[in-house]
Structure 1
Amino acid sequence: MIKIGNIELPEFPLLLAPMEDVSDPPFRAVCKDNGAHLMYTEFISSEGLIRDAIKSRKKLDIYDYEKPVGIQIFGGDEESLSLAAKIVDATNPDLLDINFGCPVKKVACRGAGAGVLKDVPLMVRLTDAVVRSTSLPVTVKTRLGWDDNTKNIEDVAERLQDVGIQALAIHGRTRTQMYKGEADWTLIAKVKENPRIKIPIFGNGDIDSPQKALEYKNRYGVDGIMIGRAAIGYPWIFNEISHYVKTGEILPSPTVEERVNVCKKHLIKSYEWKGPIVGINEMRRHYTNYLKGMPNIKEYRLKLVTLKEADEIIEVLDEIVDKYKGHEFERSVIELINYHEKCAV
């Protein structure tokens, strides 16, 4: 069993990564249904919270069925992060996570997210300020360093543990890599092997199949795995990994009906949480991923991204089930989408 504060997780937990514009309550709901053990909100600006910005406040929405769930905040100012931590505390999540890993320009180049990797003493001060401002367990998600010349994660892990964080998730790339190249888990393993490190260490980056998850578990010795891009349009990845780790067996690929049912739930939750216009519009980016692997699906996909009523969309999804019933999906590794690809470095 893995513990973060009073949170008890399975022996090898699978965490849903906090992904901006992805890890909202509708998406978290379908991931929870399909085996995610711990989930995080999209990152929330500390400045936005203390200014009472509507978008930031909305991201604080969490539900009992999601638990355990953590709220993630980011910022580069001690006072702002402290005040934001107090606001988060009042919403009663299971933990509070600090984002020191987001690589996109609008965050990192303003001294927040992965931008803090350039100033480790500041990172320590920011973390200490948050730990002192909340009664919640505090965790951190970060990267190996800013660039190839500053891969300082071993030092960072010790110093953050010393100021009180209770778990650390590490993405195996630097900030300048964004999502390019292959994630390097060797430094994650060194952090885990460090006798000074007593907190759980979770690895993140490039997990695209149950086989790879088990291989990395055995090779790098991490306490658990955080999964992000592989879950987009394929939340079944969590149950598939858990089953494979326990039994060595690959679960059957989800059927057309199973895929459509999860897509429907995602749509309905999106409609309910975001409203009929935004909920339907923002759901459009997910259909391609849910329907991947179906031949000649373009006509249906075009309908799904142009219809404006939920009932009409559900009718099209039902048509897809009728047409493709019995279709067997080819088992392959999951294509990892670079969901930040339009964000300039």
Structure 2
Amino acid sequence: MKIGNIDIKGQVFLAPMAGITNEAFRIICHELGAGLVYAEMVSDKAILQRNERTLQMIKVNKLEHPISMQIFGTDVETFVEAAKYVDQNSDCDIIDINMGCPAPKIAIKSQAGSFLLKHPQRVYEVVKAVVENVRKPVTVKIRIGWDEENINCVEIAKYCEQAGAKAIAVHARTRNQFYSGKSDWSWIKKVKKNVSIPVIGNGDVFSCEDAKRMLDETGCDAVMLARGAQGNPWIFKQIQHFLDTGEKIEQPSLDEWQSIIFRHAELLLNLKGERVAASEMRKNLAFYFKGKPEATSYKTRATQINTIFELKTLVNEYIDYYNNYNNNFVK
């Protein structure tokens, strides 16, 4: 699969998630089979203001290619200037325009993200202007519409293609659904039938079977995982192997599980320092413990760690406990 001039291996991508898909997690997911990783969204205005935290967020590690950098905003002019800065100052491979974020802070207060779905002409103008001013391929991530009465993803997708977008990702929920209810994959199929650029399906992919069913039912070119990858980064390798062979890979051993958690923590430590790394690993560690046998109390304790040493101690305690409880680790 190609997005513009960028070759993508595989059909399983990591979705952008605010506060989650930082460099450390992107590297982990890439190493475990993600064909394309998306950075967490950055504000066009923050880029133009040269906000130090935002400028750090657009930096790319050589271990995470191919990678897409996602920008959100509302005005054509600021979108263009921010995209030009990313194009010239980030080593990302693709620039993605966020037109799907449902958060009130973004979609209502800032009139960005999924708010733009209410204004198809502005969608066209933003995408066209960005495409004309950058060298990297431009893609767009959308939802199927603002609400059930205003589902317009096919129209939006056509505008994006006409404006020069090289791919479009469709989260098959409306903005008003947020993450509740069931995603409606039929709209991904309708978008795929109406554009010639690659279509990436998103929404309710949590297993190998989900991914294959989405590809089969919609005809989309790739699937994008968000919540399904949290605490479960090896799902990318599992899904891709299943798509390639029809066979399932065994769940990671307890040693592999420990190794990934420690690598995630060390990458965050090197990236952000111990205080921030420990803070961010609290929620990550809770996700890593999710579904593990006899792990309820460990999930609670995971939210209280203050150092990487405490994290490693807690994980090792769980391994000792579980090995004493049962010699065979089952996820």
Q: What TM-score, normalized to structure 1?
A: 0.91
Structure with the higher fraction of residues in helix conformation? 2
The count of residues paired between Structure 1 and Structure 2 equals 326
SS in 1 for 2:292: coil
> Which residue does 2:113 correspond to in 1?
113
Deviation at 1:269, TM superposition (A): 1.1
> Which residue does 1:244 correspond to in 2?
242
Deviation at 1:252, TM superposition (A): 1.0
> Which residue does 1:95 correspond to in 2?
94
User: Partners of 1:216 and 1:30 in 2: how far apart?
Assistant: 24
Match of 1:287 among 285, 288, 310: 285
> Which residue does 1:342 correspond to in 2?
none
> Which residue does 2:170 correspond to in 1?
170
SS in 1 for 2:180: coil
Within 5 A, what are the aligned runs for 1:51-200? 51-90=49-88, 91-109=90-108, 110-194=110-194, 197-200=195-198
User: Partners of 2:136 and 2:186 in 1: how far apart?
Assistant: 30
> Which residue does 1:334 correspond to in 2?
none
User: Partners of 1:227 and 1:303 in 2: how far apart?
Assistant: 27
Contact 1:260 1:290 in 2 (8 A): no
Q: Which amino acid aligns with 1:114?
A: S
Contact 1:259 1:291 in 2 (8 A): no
> Which residue does 1:232 correspond to in 2?
230
Deviation at 1:319, TM superposition (A): 2.7
User: Partners of 2:287 and 2:106 in 1: how far apart?
Assistant: 27
| Post-superposition CA distance 1:54-83 (Å, at most 9, x none) | 221121121111000011001001111111
Q: Which amino acid aligns with 1:273?
A: L
What RMSD over aligned residues (CA atoms) do the two structures have, in Å? Answer: 1.4
Contact 2:283 2:302 in 1 (8 A): no
Question: Are residues 1:49 and 2:47 paired?
Answer: yes
Extract structure 1 runs of 4+ deviating beyond 4 A: none
> Which residue does 2:204 correspond to in 1?
206
> Which residue does 2:253 correspond to in 1?
255
User: Partners of 1:43 and 1:313 in 2: how far apart?
Assistant: 28
Match of 2:313 among 298, 312, 315: 315
User: Partners of 1:183 and 1:168 in 2: how far apart?
Assistant: 17
SS in 2 for 1:149: coil
User: Partners of 1:306 and 1:181 in 2: how far apart?
Assistant: 31
Contact 2:145 2:174 in 1 (8 A): yes
Q: What TM-score, normalized to structure 2?
A: 0.95
Within 5 A, what are the aligned runs for 1:20-39? 20-39=18-37
User: Partners of 1:179 and 1:49 in 2: how far apart?
Assistant: 28
User: Partners of 1:76 and 1:221 in 2: how far apart?
Assistant: 31
SS in 2 for 1:98: strand
SS in 1 for 2:191: helix
Contact 1:256 1:324 in 2 (8 A): no
User: Partners of 1:226 and 1:216 in 2: how far apart?
Assistant: 10
User: Partners of 1:152 and 1:298 in 2: how far apart?
Assistant: 43
User: Partners of 1:250 and 1:210 in 2: how far apart?
Assistant: 8
SS in 2 for 1:173: strand
User: Partners of 2:184 and 2:131 in 1: how far apart?
Assistant: 29
Distance 1:96 1:324, change over 3 A: same
User: Partners of 2:215 and 2:296 in 1: how far apart?
Assistant: 38
Deviation at 1:231, TM superposition (A): 0.1
Deviation at 1:329, TM superposition (A): 2.1
Structure with the larger RCO, 1 or 2 (CA within 8 Å, 6+ apart): 1
SS in 1 for 2:69: strand
| Post-superposition CA distance 1:79-105 (Å, at most 9, x none) | 111110111012121110000000000
Contact 1:153 1:191 in 2 (8 A): yes
User: Partners of 1:169 and 1:39 in 2: how far apart?
Assistant: 13
SS in 1 for 2:68: strand
Q: Which runs of 5+ in 1 are unaligned?
A: 331-345
User: Partners of 1:89 and 1:190 in 2: how far apart?
Assistant: 32
Relative to structure 2, which stretch is displaced further, 299-308 or 259-268? 299-308
Distance 1:276 1:147, change over 3 A: same
Q: Which amino acid aligns with 1:4?
A: I
Question: Are residues 1:18 and 2:11 paired?
Answer: no
SS in 1 for 2:247: coil
